[in-house]
Structure 1
């Protein structure tokens, strides 16, 4: 990138001199066009997109609305959740008032499906029922609109794609963190390179306080990212994540309509007030596993095969405050609903064939493939709430 910055003024000056010489001469001269392309390293923005059917295509050349949050921007925003990540992304907002447990999102006012519209490395649909750790994420891509249906059945709002970070050099990095509410923790990032392979391990442990009365919890996170270049054409990648988190869910106000159907709002209370108890916790453990094998049949023809599994087991204690004095916002009742040991599981098999070629002076790229996804939700008594087997066949040019 440094050479690009240094050479650009030279090429510009050369083109200007050639133009002046051409205007002074009656002979027609052709000026050679030199194009220098590179992504923006160490930048808050990116030029190339990997989501959807576009692989490393220039954002300006894609007929999609895409926002890319780079690693530099994630670090600058101190992002520890999806809510932190998308805080400055136009058209994307939280889908629920309380984001203590996890961050479910709206894109352009349409809610994302927690089991379909959040993807790991563009393949695995994760179960977004626990706060997504960002320590091992290299970038987050938000694909807006119906183009997200490229990934199969799901909400037409779009796709949030989480791209994991790979090892690129030997390093060991650690950090300690804390905030004004009382949260404290530590993280460790270890990368090791071998001759044709690399492994990256991330570890996090923290005690959490979010600044609300009787609200606290713990979280642990471990991940491994591995890649192995078997030969010049064949590459294997693996990602594994383990997430464990328990956190108190603050009691929410429940608004009741009167006999004529209108709502009366209580007075605005301090943001740290919680009418519930500290043991009203949501407890979740989850893991994500994804393996990918890529083979370059020719320099312009590639086949990618992936297998993945996402699993989450959560117990939620949801409480609501109602029957209160509308003038003071107090002296009411707290109700508690418990949803124990609800399990969510996604299994996916995906194969894609991609190619790029020049035709009639234009650059063309096409992708063809198929994916099969099994999705299950199981409640505490082992009764299956739903089971879907979906096969999606893709052809895009």
Structure 2
């Protein structure tokens, strides 16, 4: 059995596929991943023996360039075209496709699967892209919803119109090139009737609307057995647990002084600091021995050894911190991150920073809340409720569908 996993996005879009790929391979499947050609993605997949089929431009370079919102249709068209160029060869001989990541990329991948007659399923790592009367959609940059519209159903209708305007022409032009009929509504095509939601039900509870059959598998993680680097372990062993500060794949264009603000705020709490560079290129602000610069590291092992995790609020980082039982401070930058910040605060497992730009005062207040003993107690309690079988559930669903020769899962 051969499976193609396809995404376009940040590390948070690629890492879950690493976990699923390894689990599928344990069941005898041959797996390959289509993803951006970034070196860190290639190295991560190579480390678990999964081949990468590079598709489209570098996600890191595109993110750090901060392109104007008005260029989104052109950028999306290039991403869609890249899927149509690379996917047919990558999908050759495959029995199933799992598509996730940016919507135009998923639309392109699913179209190629449709042409080849391959079973496919659409997956999201946060529920805010799934239409529901219980929450509003995410607005695309430069395309805010009318301020006077508050009915979620109306907002989802406007969302569908916006997506068609942004991506419809490019998608249908490429579909016509391989003799596929046009898609009337891009969002509905990508989601299908039975999408998968690869998030934890405690952290991200899904309330099912009657017209969408969502399968919530639990979050996808690969158990990470990598040891922490010796120098990092020595720093951890040398004193009280430090506070981790890292913003993952966020470039922090609005917070050029984020490293200094974070280090000073953590020091004011009497804590040592771990600074993770990430796509924001955070660095130490001085040579004092209470700070340590963190590169690529096993977060599953690391987060359990720190006093708190200060981060951007990506789904993966939020879930990893929650599983570790460590309090969080979420400084949301964009997209779904304010949602995850809100969930952390609602669950009582940390603090939600107000807005993307921390100051010494604002971050100090959030840290003070997160470092309270009651917050740690609650974080430990919630950690025991978080599922750990997401990839197992997803792999079984996919393998069963193929083994029983079911019709395409994506409709």
TM class by shorter chain equals: under 0.3
Higher helix proportion: 2
Larger Rg: 1
Higher strand proportion: 1
State the TM-score, normalized to the length of structure 2: 0.26
Higher relative contact order (CA 8 A, sep 6+): 2
State the TM-score, normalized to the length of structure 1: 0.27
